[in-house]
Amino acid sequence: MPKMQKKRFLFVLCVAVNAAIWFTVKVLPWLLRLFGVSADGADANAEFSSGAWIVPIGISYFTLQAIGYLTDVCKGRIEPEKHLWKYLLFLTYFPAIVQGPISRYDKLMPQLLDTKKFSFETMRKGLILTLFGLVKKMVVADRLGIFVNACFSGYQDMSGIVLYLAAVSYSVQLYMDFSGCVDICRGVSTLFHIELVNNFNRPYFATSVKDFWAKWHISLSSWLRDYIYIPLGGNRKGRVRKYVNLLLTFLVSGLWHGAEFSFFLWGALHAVFQIIGECTAGIRGRIRELLGVESGSVSERIYQTVITFNLVNFAWIFFRAADLKEGFGFIARIFSGADLFALTGPMFELGVNQGHFLVLLAHLCIFFVVELYTKSQDSAVESIVRQHLVIRWVVYLLLFFDICLFGVYGSGYDLSGFMYGGF
Amino acid sequence: MKKIISCVAFCVLVLFLAGQFTELLTPKSQNRYYILEQYLRENPKQNEHDVQVFGSCHSYTSFNPMYLEAETGVSAFVYGNAGEIIPTTYARMAEQFDRYVPKVALVEIWGINPYETYSTHERVFGFYLANNLERVTLSRAKQEVIRDFSHMEYADINALSMNFPFLNYRDRLVDGSLTEVDFRYSFEGTEPYSTNYMFKEMTSRLQYNGFKKNSNKKIEDYPDKQEYINEGEFMEIEPDIVEYIQKIIDLCREKDVELIFYRAPYTSKVNELKKLNHLRQICEYNGVLFFDLEEELSFNYRTDFLDYEHLSEIGANKATQFLMPYILEALGIGTEDLKPTNLLKNGGFTNPENTKQQDVYEGAGETVDGWFTNYSGDTVALTPNGIQNVNQSVETGWHLHQVIEDAGTLAGESLIAVFEITDYVGTKLRPVISCRDAEDKEIWAAAANIRDGKVTVNCAVPEGTQYIRVGFFAYEGVAAGDYIVVKSAALYSEATLPTNWLENGNFTNPENVQGKTDYKGVGETVDHWYTNYKGDTVTLTSEGIKNVNQSEVTGWHLHQVIEEAGNLVGKSLTAVFEIVDYGGTKIIPVISCRDAEDKEIRSVSANIADGSVTVTCVVPEGTQYIRVGLYAYEEVAPGDYVVVRSAALYEGAYTVETLPF
């Protein structure tokens, strides 16, 4: 066998082995359940329910990292790692194993092997990032989660406006939870002088769904782009093929998030939104001209941001729903009515009282302002680190006691894991 | 170095703020331990008792420090808490010993049974453990308990929430339950604002050095409820609990504290009783005292209990009485060193020593041991109410007395004889102290009129006295059938009695500089005794001082002010009023402790009743003046009155029964 063919064969084999392991633990149980197949004839649903199937922690993430590594080696972008332990260190770097971000070998490995020198400033940065992450996760995401869970589990009896608020809350919860976790990972890594890729860049300020994917879960979307979309041909093989590639890429993304039809639909929706967006770009441009709205103006950006947020928000409903039925039921119920009075009284009996809602609102306002007026969260962190000791201490204390006083933990609360840790 | 110092300073700041949040957020009136801790913080002297009692709710319902103090003068404090299990008790003892090392520690042992008792496992571990442990100061002992019990089913404890309790109560910031009181909490200051039952209970408890004064209730079927008895069957106590029993023993050994374990009676599971035998074995091995009070004492289930688990005040006094000699022994003092010496022998006539074993004695001679009659007219009989002397003659006198030989050493001392008269007929019999020379010739005699209740006779013993006769004498105008029933007789040297802080408290013969027998309105009446309202009309009668109210609106009262009462702070005071008669029930005996601006900071009162009424008060910090007297403020009516024979204020805590004179 020629060398190139052998290399290609080995590459395909390695990717297949990695994908097969992932497929076996993540997709196969769903397929078996779907077709009612069980090894011993027992209740298939019970056997392959999530609790009965041991899934290695972080498998989705290190499978992607491994496939990315293999591709880069195959394409000659990086030299293969000949030291097994070093390779495993790259693959299983502990802060990122649960929820990412998905690191590239050429970015992470040199940092892992570098000699480090202790620096107070780096430590400060790491601690602030970690505290930020904890605030996002424990104070905002988990508190919103209580409300969201209550709404999704009992949506049949709820008012449309409350459910819309729940859907928006879920969008915020997911962002705060996921970005909070990434902040913690990055914060911990910073303590070791390792800089992980920033996975988010103000995604809910995106002006289109395409833009959203350039700002949301950046390490995954760039991985999908580099290792699925572009190898499929990207936009180089005509418009129809481009759309097909887009659809396939987002279906893979859906499958990666979970073997459920609702995830497929979520992925497909994102692809369809982008395809429609591209197809209607001309018409929308003409309408904008007719209305006399200047391209790139503030009003246009606000309009685009609001529309994009709602489209993403709509898709998240399927992402959160247990299945398609619940997703469609939830959406149907949203359009059942807009009783504004439903936003008072009973809404505060769903586990989050008025006081906690006010605390949430205050936090969201702060995060909104920080995201609006800073280029990125990192620049905000840099700015704090440079402040006078008194100001720094005030910030540390505020963050620390914010978590202590308003965080969701301890008796009376169910511990909730990181949402993206389940993928 | 600079950076390390700033890191340390930052950590200190975090701890300080955590402490402040804890103070702010802890529900003030819903944690007995918090209230106790706050009280001890505001009254640090209450940490400094040589007898300290620990344990569960059974500790503070079975041991009465006030009774102990009244009986022996030894002060004690019960630091126990509801549902406190032995590991928490250990942490609590370690904390308390850091503040003050007592000489004796009593540990009530309900807490060795957290896994199986009348309270559920869920309640013991899910509620009481966290509630009691979270307030214990940061210490190694506390960390050990957290480490060993945080894994228990239902145990809602972990190192974070137990050491920083504000984490448990953080939701109070947003649920609207924070009140003004949370921002300016103090035990004394919050009292009027708290309606929570627990706060009220603790307020009451802390007036009595941690003792919960339960009234008795008739428990009709206690023997049925207590269906098991300890038949010596052995069952091992759980190892983690044994470990903490041993830790308590070791702690006391290390600090040189005498340790006594005891069990108060309560309806127990059979295994609880079996485990007592293991505890007994541990105690024997370690040379520590252990008493199962249910075995040692015969409790009366009709009077000694509040319910099936807790003792009433009567039961607690009984338990305390039992433990008393062991405490005194541990303290290295005898009971007689603390009680005023009774110079009379065999003065308890309900159960006197009676060598001759006769129920009736006629004519002259010795009757019960040490008590003599001199005349043929005397017929002495023993009754359940005391000794009865019935006169049979219309000519000779009749009497009953005891002779104190070698009374020469008492010359120059003031003596007080106290007789408890149950019943009498005929007025010529008088309680007497008769001082006699070497030839048995009377050189001085002091006497009082006969009446029901306690009668006292005061006598300054003159020089030349060799013998003293103390008793009842009737010489003239005697009639056949006159009789007297005496319950007890005692004779004290005044120097051995507790100080009476009131002046001029004998109202049958008071000092009365103004010389009037009637006083109206505001001002001083007999010396040192004041009225404050225009409704007061005070009259001197042969039976005592009478205050009649004339007003429908204002209150009425009679009081004395103790100036410079600052040196009484922290002490227990007992006011004793002998009430002859009263009409209207709104007048109450009161001890009112006041600050430098004469503002009341603590007031303790009792219900009015005929006979002797006592009020006991621990003088709080900041006291400068104390008012003692009888007060009526509300629902007053013209014609309401009270007649008081005497008033006194003694250091120490006494009940009518425990007053030594």
Q: Are A136 and A314 in contact (CB under 8 A)?
A: no
CA distance B160 to chain A (A): 10
Q: Which two tokens stand for residue A30?
A: 């769903």
* Chain A residue at shortest CA distance from B170: A405
Report the amino acid identity of residue B605.
S
CA distance B121 to chain A (A): 18
Decide if A401 and B21 are in contact by the 8 Å CB cutoff: yes
* Chain B residue at shortest CA distance from A407: B170
Report the amino acid identity of residue A111.
Q
Q: Are B547 and B533 in contact (CB under 8 A)?
A: no
Residue among B487, B140, B93 nearest B251 (CA): B93
Residue among B606, B616, B608, B605 nearest B655 (CA): B616
d(CA A283, CA B99): 83
Contacts of A358 in chain B (CB under 8 A): 174
CA distance A166 to chain B (A): 21
pLDDT in tens, chain A (423 residues): 567 788 888 888 988 998 888 888 888 888 888 777 654 444 444 444 444 567 777 788 888 888 889 888 888 888 888 889 988 888 888 888 777 788 888 888 888 888 888 888 888 899 999 999 999 999 999 999 999 999 998 888 888 888 999 999 999 999 999 899 889 999 999 998 888 888 888 899 999 999 999 999 888 888 889 888 888 887 788 888 889 999 999 998 888 888 788 889 999 999 999 999 988 888 888 888 888 888 778 888 899 999 999 999 999 999 888 888 899 999 999 887 777 777 777 777 788 888 899 999 999 999 998 888 877 777 788 888 888 889 999 999 999 999 999 998 876 666 666 666 555
Give the pLDDT confidence score for residue B336 in this predicted structure: 43
How many residues make up chain A in this entry?
Answer: 423
CA distance B161 to chain A (A): 8
Contacts of A411 in chain B (CB under 8 A): 156, 161, 168
Contacts of A353 in chain B (CB under 8 A): 174-175
Give the pLDDT confidence score for residue B335 in this predicted structure: 40
Q: Which two tokens stand for residue B571?
A: 């002490």
Contacts of B173 in chain A (CB under 8 A): 355, 405-406
Mean pLDDT by 10 residues, chain B (661 residues): 85 91 83 86 92 95 90 87 94 95 96 88 86 88 92 82 88 84 71 69 88 84 80 88 96 95 92 92 91 80 86 88 79 57 87 89 90 86 89 77 90 89 82 92 89 84 93 81 89 82 89 91 91 86 88 79 86 84 80 90 74 75 91 79 90 63 60
The number of angstroms, rounded, from the C-alpha of A158 to the middle of its chain's C-alpha atoms is 28
Q: Which two tokens stand for residue B481?
A: 């059938």
Q: Which of A120, A355, A389 comes nearest B175 by C-beta? A: A355
Identify from B169, B171, B172, B178 which residue to disrupt to test chain A contact, counting A C-beta atoms within 10 A and taking the largest count: B171
CA distance A68 to chain B (A): 42
Which residues are CB-contacts of B122 (< 8 A; sequence separation ≥ 6)? B154
Identify from A405, A408, A413 which residue to disrupt to test chain B contact, counting B C-beta atoms within 10 A and taking the largest count: A405
Contacts of B168 in chain A (CB under 8 A): 410-411
Q: How far apart are the first and last CA of chain B?
A: 71
* Chain A residue at shortest CA distance from B159: A410
Decide if A120 and B176 are in contact by the 8 Å CB cutoff: no
Identify from B10, B12, B125 which residue to disrupt to test chain A contact, counting A C-beta atoms within 10 A and taking the largest count: B10
Q: What is the DSSP string of B202-270?
A: HHHHHHTTT---PPP---TTHHHHS-----S---PPPHHHHHHHHHHHHHHHHHT-EEEEEE------H
Q: Are B485 and B423 in contact (CB under 8 A)?
A: yes
Task: Specify which residues B641 forms β-bridges with.
Answer: B548, B583
Beta pairing class for B360-362 and B378-383 = antiparallel
d(CA B36, CA B50): 18
Q: Which helix H or strand E contains B580, and what residues bound it?
A: strand B572-583
Decide if B175 and A397 are in contact by the 8 Å CB cutoff: no
Decide if B10 and A396 are in contact by the 8 Å CB cutoff: yes
d(CA B40, CA B34): 10
How many residues make up chain B in this entry?
Answer: 661
d(CA B227, CA B267): 8
At residue B493, the 3 state secondary structure works out as strand
Could you give the count of Cα atoms lying within 13 Å of B487 in the half-sphere of its Cβ?
Answer: 13
**B230-260 burial, b for 16+ CB within 10 Å, e for fewer?**
beeeeeebeeebbebbebbbebbeeeebbbb
What letter does residue A26 receive in the DSSP assignment?
Answer: H
Contacts of B156 in chain A (CB under 8 A): 411
Decide if A410 and B167 are in contact by the 8 Å CB cutoff: yes
What letter does residue B113 receive in the DSSP assignment?
Answer: -
Q: Are A105 and A79 in contact (CB under 8 A)?
A: no
CA distance B188 to chain A (A): 29
- Where in B398-543 does DSSP place strands (E)? 398-404, 414-425, 430-436, 442-447, 453-460, 467-474, 483-493, 518-520, 523-524, 530-531, 536-541
Q: Which of B13, B18, B174 comes nearest A353 by C-beta? A: B174
d(CA B145, CA B141): 6
Beta pairing class for B378-383 and B386-391 = antiparallel
Q: Which helix H or strand E contains B562, and what residues bound it?
A: strand B556-562
Catalytic residue at A257? Answer: yes
Q: Which two tokens stand for residue A392?
A: 């720094």
Give the pLDDT confidence score for residue B337 in this predicted structure: 47
Contacts of B160 in chain A (CB under 8 A): 410
Identify from B170, B175, B177 which residue to disrupt to test chain A contact, counting A C-beta atoms within 10 A and taking the largest count: B170
Which residues are CB-contacts of B72 (< 8 A; sequence separation ≥ 6)? B324, B327, B328, B335, B338, B339
Identify from B174, B175, B177, B178 which residue to disrupt to test chain A contact, counting A C-beta atoms within 10 A and taking the largest count: B174
Decide if B18 and A404 are in contact by the 8 Å CB cutoff: yes
Total CB pairs under 8 A between chain A and B: 41
d(CA B99, CA B93): 10
Q: Which of B14, B160, B173 comes nearest A400 by C-beta? A: B14
Contacts of A389 in chain B (CB under 8 A): 6
pLDDT digits (tens, 9 = 90+) for A152-188: 988 888 888 889 999 999 999 999 998 998 899 999 9
At residue A423, the 3 state secondary structure works out as coil
Residue among B160, B130, B31, B137 nearest A404 (CA): B160
Question: Which of A83, A193, A217, A257 is an active site residue?
Answer: A257
Decide if A410 and B168 are in contact by the 8 Å CB cutoff: yes
CA distance B120 to chain A (A): 19
Taking residue A115's Cβ as centre, other Cβ atoms within 10 Å add up to 5
Q: Are A9 and A1 in contact (CB under 8 A)?
A: yes
What letter does residue A115 receive in the DSSP assignment?
Answer: -
d(CA B327, CA B56): 20
CA distance A184 to chain B (A): 21
Decide if A410 and B173 are in contact by the 8 Å CB cutoff: no
Contacts of B10 in chain A (CB under 8 A): 393, 396
Q: By a Cβ cutoff of 8 Å, what residues of chain A touch chain B?
A: 120, 353, 355-356, 358-359, 389, 393, 396-397, 400-401, 404-406, 410-412
Q: Which helix H or strand E contains B429, and what residues bound it?
A: none
Decide if A359 and B174 are in contact by the 8 Å CB cutoff: yes
Decide if B21 and A405 are in contact by the 8 Å CB cutoff: yes
Q: By a Cβ cutoff of 8 Å, what residues of chain B touch chain A?
A: 3, 6, 10, 13-14, 17-18, 21, 156, 160-161, 164, 166-168, 170-171, 173-176
Q: Which of B17, B171, B176 comes nearest A401 by C-beta? A: B17
The number of angstroms, rounded, from the C-alpha of A121 to the middle of its chain's C-alpha atoms is 29
Contacts of A397 in chain B (CB under 8 A): 13-14, 17
Contacts of B176 in chain A (CB under 8 A): 355
Task: Specify which residues A181 forms β-bridges with.
Answer: none
Give the pLDDT confidence score for residue B486 in this predicted structure: 92
Decide if A406 and B176 are in contact by the 8 Å CB cutoff: no
Phi, then psi, of B578 in degrees rounded to 5: -95, 105
Could you give the count of Cα atoms lying within 13 Å of B154 in the half-sphere of its Cβ?
Answer: 12
In which order are the strands placed within the sheet that holds B430-436?
Answer: B365-366, B372-373, B398-404, B467-474, B430-436, B442-447
* Chain B residue at shortest CA distance from A393: B10
Q: How far apart are the first and last CA of chain A?
A: 39
Give the pLDDT confidence score for residue B437 in this predicted structure: 92
* Chain A residue at shortest CA distance from B166: A405
Residue among A381, A314, A422 nearest A129 (CA): A381
d(CA B9, CA B17): 12
